[in-house]
Structure 1
Amino acid sequence: MWWFQQGLCILPVALVLWTAATFIFAYITAVLLKHVDPLVPYISDTGTVAPERCVFGIMLDISAYLGIATMYVRYKQVQALTVEEESKLHKLNLLGLVLGWISSFGMCIVANFQKTTLFSMHLVGAILTFGVGALYILVQTLVSLCMQPHVHGKSIFWVRLSIGVWTFASIISMFVSSVIMYSSLPGVDVAHKLHWIPGETGYIPHIISTISEWSLALSFVSFFLTYIRDFQVPKLSSSLHSLHHLDQTEYMFKSDYLSHAPNTHLTVKCLLTSP
């Protein structure tokens, strides 16, 4: 069995690969058709003009659905590995699921409302995708902190924390540079401006903004890569009813998660069921 066939790690793997393929396909197509400049255009600009916007929309919708499934499995996994007395962790886990699904919904808005067609809705979708998505990363990082060292190792927490810092730094950089860019171009319809000339007014803030957006997207992709090892444990049931039908899986973790005996280990059978 290949590593990506173990448990449910195919979900984050598919999410990462499919999303990356979406961005790459849209970028290559838009550049070849001269719809955008080759030097780091906005991701949205690469999916604005037909025909690439049609495929971009469909592929990004699929990414959103994969994100919903991945976040749900993560929610069920944390729920199964958490004792009932950990009410705060359960609430934090549920908050993460809600934020993640809102972010995925925002991705659907971005995919289907192009910035040159309905900029206000596209902007709302971008805020939901990146803004709420950043909060999802923050919540999941806190969940990892609460679950260490009983379930998660310290290393995965620090990795997720680093990605979270990367995410928020990219958001701040993109926001500040975008404000400067729009301020330096009064009266210009920046939403419909797909080509930029080096040296023109607002060019430097534009480049900083686009680099920040690509950096932000890469940070999101990198975060879901951290789920792969966790997802190698639970196995999808043969039942096709829904994702919450999961086989019984043994999780090994220290018994001091439930008691105060740090020198022994406890094998707990966790059945991931619907709430």
Structure 2
Amino acid sequence: MRKCSPWTFLPIMFSLFTAAGLWVVYFIAVEDDKIIPLSSEYKRSGQKSPPYISIAGNAPPASCVFSQVMNMAAFVGFILGVLRYLQLKPRMHRPWMNIGGLVALSLACFGMTLVGNFQLTNDEELHNVGTSMTFGLGTLFCWVQSFITVKVNLRNEGRRADFILMAQGLHMHAARTQWALVMFFLTFLASFAIEFRNYHFEIMCTDYQDPPLSLSETFSEVSEYQSDQL
């Protein structure tokens, strides 16, 4: 029986807890009558706002949960990006694409912190910058990783229109698309578990009196997880 690396569960737990946290924000905002439900029809004359993620997390108490969820998601997302970079590093003949993917995800994670900590009504410009970074660079990261996955094919496992709607005033369709996009993005990151299950990551710590080690030596190269170990 094959034994999976414990790192398998990191992408899955990241996606599940982030998705759950965002839905908690949504239900809090609905319960407080800040937004209308996704299943309802939006009328401009009404007092409630359309259920965009940013609007759901715009006012307390939902904004408090939203900030915490986005900050934690940004931190763990960055860790996932670093592990993915280390996993692909020995297999990439052209490292610029692997480095570019890590940079894109790092900036997207920073954008997530801007979205979570600068609410829409408090600093709309900075909030929108964070939104553009999160969705724009996050989508770029997904495309880069999709190409790398097919190209590198680790262990033969790699091959197994929102803004337009808003401009047209179709806010409910745009809001539903936004929620769907975030869920698909989290599902994509969760799929890293398929390849993480065969890998083992280590961080080595040595005494200061020992000869100094370079960063590349300190972080050990990713070694393939031995399937015959019990």
Structures share fold, TM-score greater than 0.5: yes
Instruction: Give the corresponding residue for 1:178.
Output: 166
Q: Select which of 191, 194, 203 maps to 1:229.
A: 194
Q: Select which of 82, 88, 103 maps to 1:72.
A: 82
- Does residue 212 (structure 1) correspond to residue 177 (structure 2)? The answer is yes
Instruction: Give the corresponding residue for 2:159.
Output: 154
SS in 1 for 2:199: coil
Taking structure 1 as reference, are residues 240 and 8 closer, same or farther at Cα in structure 2, changes over 3 Å only?
farther
Taking structure 1 as reference, are residues 238 and 48 closer, same or farther at Cα in structure 2, changes over 3 Å only?
same
Which amino acid is 1:58 matched to?
A: Q
SS in 1 for 2:119: coil
Q: Select which of 116, 121, 126 maps to 1:121.
A: 126
CA contact (8 A) 1:7 1:233 kept: no
Following TM superposition, where does structure 1 have runs of at least 4 consecutive aligned residues deviating by more than 3 angstroms? Answer: 148-153, 236-242, 244-248
RMSD: 2.6
Instruction: Give the corresponding residue for 2:53.
Output: 43
Instruction: Give the corresponding residue for 1:106.
Output: 111
Identity %: 28
Instruction: Give the corresponding residue for 1:134.
Output: 139
CA contact (8 A) 1:7 1:236 kept: no
Gaps of 5+ in 2: 40-50, 207-214
**TM-score, normalization: structure 1?**
0.67
Which amino acid is 2:74 matched to?
A: A
Give the Cα separation in 2 of the matches to 1:154 and 1:52.
40
Give the Cα separation in 1 of the matches to 2:86 and 2:222.
13
CA contact (8 A) 1:234 1:247 kept: no
Q: CA deviation at 1:239?
A: 5.1
Give the Cα separation in 2 of the matches to 1:69 and 1:149.
20
Instruction: Give the corresponding residue for 1:185.
Output: none
Q: CA deviation at 1:128?
A: 0.3
CA contact (8 A) 1:109 1:125 kept: yes
CA contact (8 A) 1:177 1:208 kept: yes
SS in 2 for 1:93: helix
Taking structure 1 as reference, are residues 71 and 248 closer, same or farther at Cα in structure 2, changes over 3 Å only?
closer
Taking structure 1 as reference, are residues 131 and 33 closer, same or farther at Cα in structure 2, changes over 3 Å only?
same
Of the structure 1 ranges 41-50 and 143-152, higher mean CA displacement relative to structure 2 is found in: 143-152
Give the Cα separation in 2 of the matches to 1:134 and 1:97.
13
Instruction: Give the corresponding residue for 1:31.
Output: 30
Give the Cα separation in 1 of the matches to 2:61 and 2:29.
9
Of the structure 1 ranges 144-153 and 40-49, higher mean CA displacement relative to structure 2 is found in: 144-153
More relative contact order in 1 or in 2 (CA 8 Å, sep 6+)?
A: 2
Give the paired residue count.
204
Taking structure 1 as reference, are residues 232 and 150 closer, same or farther at Cα in structure 2, changes over 3 Å only?
closer
Q: Select which of 80, 93, 100 maps to 1:95.
A: 100
Q: Select which of 246, 249, 253 maps to 2:223.
A: 249
Q: CA deviation at 1:234?
A: 2.2
CA contact (8 A) 1:35 1:46 kept: yes
Instruction: Give the corresponding residue for 2:21.
Output: 22
Give the Cα separation in 1 of the matches to 2:201 and 2:225.
15
Taking structure 1 as reference, are residues 75 and 151 closer, same or farther at Cα in structure 2, changes over 3 Å only?
farther
CA contact (8 A) 1:103 1:130 kept: yes
Gaps of 5+ in 1: 156-172, 182-204, 253-275
Taking structure 1 as reference, are residues 150 and 34 closer, same or farther at Cα in structure 2, changes over 3 Å only?
closer
